[in-house]
Structure 1
Amino acid sequence: MGAAGARRTRSRALGPLRVGGLDGLVDPLLEALDVTPLGFVAIFVSVFAGAFVQGSIGFGLNLVAAPVIVVFAPDAVPAASIILALPMTLGSALRERTHIDHAAVAWTTLGRLPGVLLGAWLVSRLAPEALSLMIGGIVVLAVVMSAVSISISIDRRSQAAAGFLGGLMGTTSSVGGPPMALLYQHEPGPTVRSTLGATFMVGIACSLLALGVVGEVSAFHWRFGATMVPAVLLGLFASRFAHARLDAGWLRPCVLAFSALAGIGVVARGLFST
């Protein structure tokens, strides 16, 4: 059975989703996205939750959503999970745009470009398991260093380095937030969220371009990402109600916790995929 046949089999595994008179709309949608009804609901909820987390602390959309997408629609990762982050990052950047650190965006982008290129090359050359172990290990090490108060000053070199690592991680695993989030963990909440949003928006464009060059992006990925836009927007809207509490002293602990979770999750993906 070919890849297309396997996808059709998965999408029909639980039978068609009956929602009143919408069968004619729902069934083609599920088949086009290569998901079962249960898978669609699980992915939609995970994207909403991930958007809420990222809208609150500046990153985390694919930390929450990517593992669920891998289970129910493995063909969609990493391209579709990167695509659905486009409206998320744009919304985050625009919502608190007066707090964007424009110099950081510039230097991070400069560092991100070689990281994206290296990431695209690694995706086309190395086994996913090896990539997961390498990337996850780097993130866990960075979290440990931050937790024991080994701080890194925010300057051009650290911004470029964070951009490089973010580009590498985002392209290989769709989880590229921890490097910049760890660098900015001591900054005010609006600065963290808006600067990361603007940085990620540029980074996503670079990652998609690089993945497209190596043949890892298709119309299927764009359909998948576009279908999840409502979940992203709902999560982004809901996150505004968490800002006051997080900005009162909970932002850094949340950044460290979710960064550690990201690293451990990526390592686990590599270990259990072998």
Structure 2
Amino acid sequence: MGACFGYSHALGGLAGSHAEYIRVPFADHGSFPVPDGLDDDLAAVFASDAGPTGWMGADLGGVGPGDVVAVWGAGGVGQVAARASVLLGAERVIVIDRIPERLRQAREYMGVETLDYTGTDVGAELRERTGGRGPDVCIEAVGMEAHSPGPEYAYDQIKQQLRLQSDRPTALREAIYACRKGGSVFCLGVFAGVVDKFPLGAMMNKGLTFRGAQQHGQRYIPALLDRIAGGDLPTRHLATHPMTLDEGPRGYEMFKRKQDGCVRPVFQF
């Protein structure tokens, strides 16, 4: 699929980018100018990762006019996927998460509905909101470290710690079960290897279209920079904790532990 910074020799062998200087191979192809009308670096930086990843999920997931879309995960990627679904014509967009500040951002900045999965049965609630059918498009934006209040979370954690699986597919399973017959499921969350109890039978018998990918930066970044500059795609609010590079360890700890309302730390120097 190409190369990614910090993804080991499996994807190009390029060093990570959280440093004062990085080597950018083929920079004339992989770097893009920020539009003159966009003078906020904290807004523009999200066109590098969360923006194109989220937009790709809605685009390649097949979101169209009149669709009902459910997005698992209200981080930066999930919020952009939700906003992209709105801009692509979805009639209703529902974002699922458990972190209050993320859910609040999705409502206030992206203009979508939210659902706290710790307080309800997600599948039943989605059927209720869709007249019993389920969403037309389900976008999984959580990935290999998915959380759940149910027993499947303990099961997945034990299997992962025993090296019997590499990832926890809790949210992805839920998306497949929730999607309407003949619908579309797109996997945006990062997965590294193998998972257990993947509901292949449900996916096949329901006639689902299933896709997944790492973000296609060259395809999406230029247009997203223009959308951010034009105000269609809000991203500045995602940078809840601007920090210096020296504060990197603290920023990562805050992000991991979900402390102080941290959605995304952004390192500046």
Bin of the TM-score, shorter chain as denominator length: under 0.3
TM-score, with structure 1 as normaliser:
0.26
TM-score, with structure 2 as normaliser:
0.26
Larger RCO (alpha carbons 8 Å, 6+ apart): 1
Structure with the higher fraction of residues in helix conformation: 1
